Amino acid sequence: MSSISSLSRAISGLQASQYGLQATAHNMANVNTPGYVRQQVLMKDSTYIKIGSNGYSNLMVGMGTDVQALRQVRDMFLDGAFRNEVSRYGYYNSGADALDEIQTILGETEGESMEKILEKFWKSLNELSKHPDGKEARGTFVQSAVLFVNKANLIMEQLDEYQMNLNKQVTDKVDEINRLGEEISMLNDKIVKYEINGDNANDYRDARNNALDKLANIIDITYKEDQLGNVIVKAEGFDFVSVGNVNKIELEQAVPNSPLVSPIWKATGKRVFNLDTEISPEKENDRGSLKGILLSRGTRRANFKDTEDENNFNNNVKPSVIMRTQAKFDLFVHSVVTAVNDIMAPKNRTDSPFGLDGSQNIEIFKRKHMDRYDSSNTYITEEATNPNSLYSAGNLEINPEVLNDYDKICITRVQGEVQNNDVVEKIKTRWQDPFLDEYPGSDSKLNINEYYVSFVGDIGNVGKVTKTQMQNQQILIAQIDNQRSILMGVSSDEELGNMMKYQHAYNASARVVTVVDQMLEQVINRLGLVGR
């Protein structure tokens, strides 16, 4: 073969090695870039030409090295598995966070817990039964009632605040989904533009895959890539990102008279999520942190009235951990309040007990914005449509008349018989009677103390199950992500090895060029002197 052919082969080696060095340097520069996937230069032998034969064998000489492609070292199946599992993790992590917050709000593991306050209240009832006319016993009873009301109001207010915090998270998640959709659509355009001209768009593909990873954590997605390189994304089965278009999500009021919002598709006005169906791993619909937040938050504030209808509770309240907690906690508070109020100040005002000063029909626990009786001395009924009419946590205070004068505590059955404890004993009996359903529609009846213990235990059990599911997903995600990192991540040691390999190959090709150059110089400058 000629020296010119040898020079051509050496130059192809120089170019291929230089391309490899550039790819290696790019990998090293992005070793800490989130979502970056290492790039690899694929080389192949150029064409071969026949220069002769040796018996049955052809003598072939290669024409050098060609760079075939600069590819990403990526596994689409690992990507799919990661996004599927991270979507489930997002769902269970949202639920676990909500349950952790609820347990913190209830404060049964630290501080002045409701259980301890309830115990103090019960002890004050016992002391009041022993000394119904005692100022100290009456004062202790009122102060324990104050503690109970303050704690009940505080817990419900914190539950309300957390529900509104989750509502803000819904808004933020929807904004992030729309932003990621716009980002994916923009990256689609750039990838198609570059690759249609023969350039590589690997860095843009990394950014798009990173956006898909984030999107999968928030909402259940499916996706596919078309022939041009566009990624088409569906979210909750609805076309989200298509070629040149993003169907955005908007917000509307969750239910009438509620400050909470629910996501809808702007294009159709339909709800993004169908939360009416059971959500479970078997149905493969336990996906996305946004769905987990929505389900934890619920659609409105719940109260004890929601426990009166079994179907309403099971279908509209129970699926939401916040609404379920609000309803069951409020039933507990309402039960304590009415166990005392309805005996000291009966609704029908007959056989009303007396205070030490002869007072009658004075309640201990008062609605903040509504008296117990109207101007005609008729009991004002509690109506679900009027929250101010409910003896509900957050709407309670201790009657100022009782706070200012303990003699107005109406616990004397017959006026003048100040030592009679029948009224207090009746309250204690009501307290200890199993009259509360463990759950709406259940056959198990519990007294006030048992109900609260069951209520707290139920939250703890649900929290434990949800946290276990979240931790299992966390382990699974870590395993898959570790496999992705081994395959797709940049190893500085490996890249340094590649850099040395390409550098030696470059030097070898450069040496060939030098030798061929010297040979040509010898031929041109020296052999041309013969015959002069």
* CB-based contact 112:144 (threshold 8 Å): no
- The more confidently predicted of residues 26 and 432 is 432
Report residue 240: phi and psi, to 5°.
Answer: -105, -60
**DSSP-assigned beta bridge partners for residue 72:** 39
Nearest to 392 by CA among 451, 306, 472, 461: 306
pLDDT for the residue 324: 96
DSSP line for 53-97: EETTEEEEEE--EEEEEEEE---HHHHHHHHHHHHHHHHHHHHHH
Report the 10 Å Cβ neighbour count for 255. Answer: 11
Give tens-digit pLDDT for 388-431. 999 999 999 999 999 999 999 999 988 878 888 999 999 999 99
Give tens-digit pLDDT for 170-184. 999 999 999 999 999
- The more confidently predicted of residues 294 and 518 is 294
C-alpha dist (Å) from residue 519 to 9, 98, 496, 524: 16, 79, 35, 9
Tokens at 91, concatenated: 């769902």
Q: Which residues, other chains included, contact 410 with Cβ-Cβ below 8 Å and sequence gap of 6+?
A: 344, 345, 352, 353, 354, 355, 359, 360, 361, 362, 423
Whether 1 shows a pLDDT value over 60: the answer reads no
Give tens-digit pLDDT for 245-275. 999 999 999 999 999 999 999 999 999 998 8
Q: Which residues, other chains included, contact 311 with Cβ-Cβ below 8 Å and sequence gap of 6+?
A: none
Mean pLDDT of 124-136: 93
pLDDT for the residue 447: 94
Q: What pLDDT band is residue 10 in, cutting at 50, 70 and 90?
A: confident
Work out the angle between the directed axes of helices 422-432 and 448-488 (0-180°, nearest 10): 30
Whether 320 shows a pLDDT value over 80: the answer reads yes
Spacing of C-alpha 445 from chain mean position: 35
